[in-house]
Amino acid sequence: MGGTRHEETSHALALTHQASADRPRRPRTRDGRALVRRRERAPRQPERRRGTCCASLAEVRTHIDAIDTQILKLMAERQTYVHEAGRFKPSVAKVQDDKRVAAIIAKVRAEATTLGLSPDVAEATFRAMIAAFTEDEKKQVGARTP
């Protein structure tokens, strides 16, 4: 390119402009930030289901740790409602409600199946969780009633 410095600069700018004009425009938010599409952040669902989305055991465990934190937050929220349930029970003997537990387990098994989660894993997890919450609720009701 044997033109003046100014011509060279304009040519380079024109090329840059051309290259960005050819590229498909990324969707942006109203304030101009690039919208990251979900597929770019998380692996595609089938890969995740097949368990082939991670490159190392450490990466797998990072995902598991993050999910465990979400589960714990939901358990803390569940606990507040279990304590609320305790307020409506007149005695420790009324805390355990087998009919309610059976209904929860039936619902959880059906939902797990829809979500692609093993219903047996879901049932075992919920039975253990409800048993622990029930003991906690008994302590709470026992502290309030004779």
Ligand X SMILES: O=C(O)C(=O)C[C@]1(C(=O)O)C=C[C@@H](O)C=C1
The CB-of-128 to ligand X minimum distance in angstroms stands at 11
Nearer to ligand X (CB atom), residue 53 or residue 136: 136
Nearer to ligand X (CB atom), residue 36 or residue 106: 106
Q: Give me the phi and psi of 28, to 5 degrees please.
A: -125, 155
Query: Residue 70, exposed/middle/buried by CB under 10 A (0-12, 13-18, 19+)?
Result: exposed
Give residue 144's identity as a one-letter amino acid code: R
**Are 25 and 19 spatial neighbours (Cβ–Cβ below 8 Å)?**
no
Give the CB-side neighbour count of residue 39, counting CA atoms within 13 A.
Answer: 2
In Å, what is the CA distance from 15 to each residue of 10, 18, 43, 47, 51? 9, 5, 35, 39, 44
Closest residue (Cβ) to ligand X? 85
Nearer to ligand X (CB atom), residue 97 or residue 123: 97
The CB-of-100 to ligand X minimum distance in angstroms stands at 4
Nearer to ligand X (CB atom), residue 49 or residue 78: 78
Residues that bind ligand X (CB under 6 A): 82, 85, 95-97, 100-101, 104, 130, 133-134, 137
Residue 58 CA to residue 71 CA, distance in Å, equals 20
Nearer to ligand X (CB atom), residue 35 or residue 128: 128
The CB-of-121 to ligand X minimum distance in angstroms stands at 18
The CB-of-66 to ligand X minimum distance in angstroms stands at 25
The CB-of-124 to ligand X minimum distance in angstroms stands at 15
